[in-house]
Structure 1
C-alpha cells in the first residue's frame, strides 16, 4: 500500500459494526447470552471512553433469533442500555422473518415498527454514503435454500449509488456475495461460507455488475455465515474495472463455526452451548480516511485486537 500524506491520514469517520447478534428472550438463552455480551459491551465502553465514541453502530441483520416482539424488546433495551445516545442502524436478515406464530406477510412490518426504519434505506455521514439493503422475504423465493436478491433491491442499490456519484459508498447486506468469505477447512466443513447456496445469493454476479458500474462502490459488509477467526477472505479487496471493492464479513459475537453456539430442545427447556476453537467475541471498528479505510477486529473475550486491514476507499 502506498504511503499516505498527512491530509490523507486525517480521520473522517469512525463507526462500529456488529455481526449477527441473535437476541432471544427465552430464559436460559437470555441469561447465557447476557453474560457473554457483558464482556463485549463492557470492553466496547472502555474503548470508547479511552478513544472516543463512534459516530454510530450498525448491524446488517439477524439482530434477533425470531421476530417475536419479546426478542425485539430485548434487543432494543439491551442496545439502549449499552449504546446510550450512539445511533444504531439495523438491517434485516433471515431470522427477522422467522416466527411460526406470526403471519409471514407481517414480518417486515415488525422490523419497521421495532426500529423505525424501512427494510432498505440510506444515510450519510461525513461525506460518506451508507446503503442498507434488505435480505429477501422467504415468501418471495421459489426455494428458500436458494437466495436471490430482488430486482427492487438491486434497483435501490443502483439508484442510490448513481444519485451520489461523488460520495464513497459503504454497503450492507445480511449475506455475503458468492466467493468472498470461505471455509477454514472445507474437508471438515468448519464454516458456513459464500460458496454455499443459502449463505450467498445465487445472483451474486448481478450485484457485482452493479458495483462495477459505480466507482463510488467501495466497501460491502455482510454477516450471516458466523465465520470463524481467520476464515479465508474474511476481508478481501477485488479490483473491478477501474476501482476496488472490498468485502468485509462480520463474524458473529454470539458464536462462530458450523454446528456451534446454542442448542435448545423442542420443549425449549434444555439449553447447551458449543464453543468454537478459538472461541472469540468479535466486533469490528471501521475508521475512514481520504482514500482508504482501516478495519480492525476486536476480540472482547481477551480484550485484544486481532488484526487490522487497510483497504482502498473511493476518492473523487
Structure 2
C-alpha cells in the first residue's frame, strides 16, 4: 500500500511540473554566452523567375519555409536583411509583395538597401536588362525604401560588438561598362562611416553591406567585375586599412552559394586588412542557405545552415578569434 501511495505521489509531482509555466515558456532555459545574428540576403520576394510559373511557386514556398525555420530558432538576437528584398526594382507594388515575406519574420530584424531597391529604373527592361535610374528616380527610390524599411545607414551595439550598416545612397551614380555600380556610397555616408569607426576603435566591428569588397572573389567567377564591388573602392580600402577593429564585411549581391568555390575561400580575406568578407547566399534557387554569426566575448563563429536538409554544413564553420585588445575584458572607451 505504501509503495502504491509513493507511486501516486510521484505521478502527481510530475503532472504538476508538466503544467508549470516554465514548460510553456518560449524563452531559452539556458544561459547564452553569445549573441546570434542571422543574415537573410537577396530574398527577392516573390521571385525573379517569371517564365516558369511552377518553379516560381516552388521558390516562393521555399522562402516561406525558411522564414518559418528562422522564426522557430529561440536564440536569435537579430535578423539582418542585406538588401534586394524586392523582386526586381523599387515601386509600391514591389514593396507590397516583398513585405508579404519580410513582415512574417517575427524575430528582431533590421534592413539595408541593395541595388534593386535604389539603382534601377521602373521603366520596362530592355532585352531583359533593367535600366539605370536617373538621379531623380534614385531620390524617389530612396524615399520609398526609407518609408518601408528605415534608414540607409546606421549603427547598432550588440553586446561588446559594433554593427555598422551601409546602403547605396549616391544620387549621381556612376556607370561602368553601360551598367551602374550596384552599391555606391556618397561622401556623406563615407564621412559618417569614418566618424563611427574613429569613435569605436576598441570595439570589434562587423559591417553589413549589400555588395562585397573588391578582390574577395575568385578571379574566374562570373561576378568578378568592378560594378559588383562596393564603390568607391579606393576610399573604402583606405578606411578599412586604418581600422583593424573591423573583422567582418558581410555581403550579398553575387548570389554566391556554398556550392561555389568563392563561398569560403582564402581570397575572402580583404588584402592588407583584418577583414573577412563573408558571402551570403541568395534565396533565389531551389535551395536556401543562411549564415549565422555567433558573437562571443573572444571570438566570432560563422555557421551555414541548409534549410532544405535542416542541417548545419559543418565544413563551412569558421572562427575569427578577437585580438586581445578587442576582447570584452580589455575594451576601453576610445580616447
Aligned to 1:265: none
Give 1:202 deviation, angstroms: 5.4
Contact 2:210 2:251 in 1 (8 A): yes
Contact 2:45 2:101 in 1 (8 A): no
Give 1:166 deviation, angstroms: 2.3
Q: Summarize the Cα distance change of 1:158–1:232 in structure 2 as closer, same or farther, 3 Å threshold.
A: farther
**C-alpha separation in 2, matches of 1:222 and 1:192:** 17
**285, 296, 311: which one aligns with 2:320:** 311
Give 1:15 deviation, angstroms: 1.2
Aligned to 1:37: 63
Give 1:294 deviation, angstroms: 0.6
**C-alpha separation in 1, matches of 2:226 and 2:43:** 22
**236, 240, 247: which one aligns with 2:277:** 247
**C-alpha separation in 2, matches of 1:53 and 1:73:** 29
Where does the alignment leave 5 or more consecutive residues of structure 2 unmatched? Answer: 1-31, 124-132
Q: TM-score, normalised by structure 2?
A: 0.71
Q: 1 or 2 for the larger relative contact order (CA 8 Å, sep ≥6)?
A: 1
Deviations 1:235-275 (Å, cap 9, x if unpaired)? 4345746xx222101111223xxxxxxxxxxxxxxxxxxxx
- Taking the TM superposition and a 5 Å limit, the aligned residue runs for 1:172-183 are 172-182=208-218
Contact 1:182 1:231 in 2 (8 A): no
Higher strand share: 1
What is the total number of aligned residue pairs between the two structures?
A: 268
Deviations 1:53-106 (Å, cap 9, x if unpaired)? 31110022111122121222232232222x22x221111111002342594430
Aligned to 1:124: 157
Q: Summarize the Cα distance change of 1:203–1:11 in structure 2 as closer, same or farther, 3 Å threshold.
A: same
Give 1:300 deviation, angstroms: 0.6
Where does the alignment leave 5 or more consecutive residues of structure 1 unmatched? Answer: 1-9, 256-278
1:225 aligns with 2:223: no
Aligned to 2:97: 74
**C-alpha separation in 1, matches of 2:213 and 2:61:** 33
**C-alpha separation in 2, matches of 1:213 and 1:111:** 31
**C-alpha separation in 2, matches of 1:99 and 1:36:** 28
* More displaced 10-residue stretch of structure 1: 133-142 or 20-29: 20-29
Give 1:156 deviation, angstroms: 1.9
**C-alpha separation in 2, matches of 1:229 and 1:88:** 24
**3-state SS of the aligned residue for 2:276?**
strand
Structure 1 or 2, whichever has the larger Rg, is: 2
Give 1:162 deviation, angstroms: 1.0
Deviation >6 Å, runs of 4+: none
Give 1:208 deviation, angstroms: 2.0
**3-state SS of the aligned residue for 2:77?**
coil
Aligned to 1:88: 109
Q: Summarize the Cα distance change of 1:217–1:301 in structure 2 as closer, same or farther, 3 Å threshold.
A: same
Q: Summarize the Cα distance change of 1:213–1:21 in structure 2 as closer, same or farther, 3 Å threshold.
A: same
Give 1:150 deviation, angstroms: 2.9
- Taking the TM superposition and a 5 Å limit, the aligned residue runs for 1:6-45 are 11-24=33-46, 28=53, 31-45=57-71
Give 1:205 deviation, angstroms: 3.5
Contact 2:292 2:304 in 1 (8 A): yes
Q: Summarize the Cα distance change of 1:54–1:240 in structure 2 as closer, same or farther, 3 Å threshold.
A: same
Contact 2:44 2:283 in 1 (8 A): no
Aligned to 2:10: none
**3-state SS of the aligned residue for 1:198?**
helix
* More displaced 10-residue stretch of structure 1: 23-32 or 140-149: 23-32
Aligned to 2:139: 105
**C-alpha separation in 2, matches of 1:131 and 1:237:** 19
Aligned to 1:62: 84
